[in-house]
Structure 1
Amino acid sequence: MAEETAAQTETFDKELEQFLAQDGEIEALKAERDELRDRYMRALADAENSRKRADRDRREAENYGSTRLARDLLPVFDNLRRALAAVTDEQRAANAALLEGVELTLKELTAVMSKHGVKPIEAKPGDLFDAQCMEAMFEAPLPGTKAGQIIQVMTEGFMLHDRLLRPAQVGVSSFTG
């Protein structure tokens, strides 16, 4: 019986060793599974971040890819405005068709710019100066105004969607009396 007990003990010890070895393998497999799950989740997050970044870059390219062209068109807009402002009443009567063509050209240019997100900055005498979208070209004390009020608009400013394309160039009152 002692031999039988010793054999059983030996068999039990071998089975226990095998079980413990399998348990170690199971733990190793679990650790490997957890590592692979973690790598998979990181890869998914990276792919999602890349997709979002590409989408944001695409939207920015659509909205702001024409910035250089828009900036290059602003002097054309300014020159058409100046040409129309310089016309006297005599010239207007003598060259009505020509001036109408210039006005229509300016109107079309304004419509095209607006279609592509280029909007004028509203700045007029009496408004308060806004350093976010305006550039003060000079300060002068002008009676009847408050300090910081616009007294003259020299060049119209523009926004491209929500970005400043060109600040409005204005004169600002420094009158404190």
Structure 2
Amino acid sequence: MIPSATPRRSRPLLWSAALAASLLAGCASSVKLDNDVPVESRNPNAAAQGGSGAGAGGTAQSNVATVDLTAQDKAGTVGRVVYFDFDSFVIKDEYRSVVEGQAKLLQANRQRLVQIEGHTDERGGREYNLALGQKRAEAVQRALVLLGVSDKQLEAVSYGEERPADPGHDEAAWAKNRRAEVKDR
């Protein structure tokens, strides 16, 4: 038997270090960021301050119409339900507009309080479904907070499988039941 230059006890440490180094190397990005990208000014007075564009020419009048988001909410155009995949609490891209719309409404009315209800389908144990429903509600809550909504306006609760949107026992019904709903408190 040929003796090794590295003692046996330090081999796992070397493997761990090599694994960590390879993971860090894999996270490196070669994408170049362009620092000269023009930034749009959202300040309505920016045009009056000598900027170029549609408003440059002397007037600070904005041609952009204001939108009353509370009127849209009353009309039902801002969604309130986010659906999830089986055994998942990841918000899908197709429901990003629902979360963003709710965030805009909540930011426009800082007095508005909502409850985010997490729901699951009937598959799985009661405790598991309550935990999954809570994770779904908290995922929507975290997304709203990241979009600038005050955490004080939000409450996340789970109903698990107890309040199905569709009482059926097939995939179509289960898909409707895997959801998080934003409701006024």
Q: TM-score, normalised by structure 2?
A: 0.24
Specify the structure having the higher radius of gyration (Cα). Answer: 1
Q: When you count strand as a share of all residues, which structure comes out higher?
A: 1
More helix by share: 1
Q: TM-score, normalised by structure 1?
A: 0.25
Q: Specify which structure has the bigger relative contact order, considering alpha-carbon pairs within 8 angstroms and separated by 6 or more residues.
A: 2
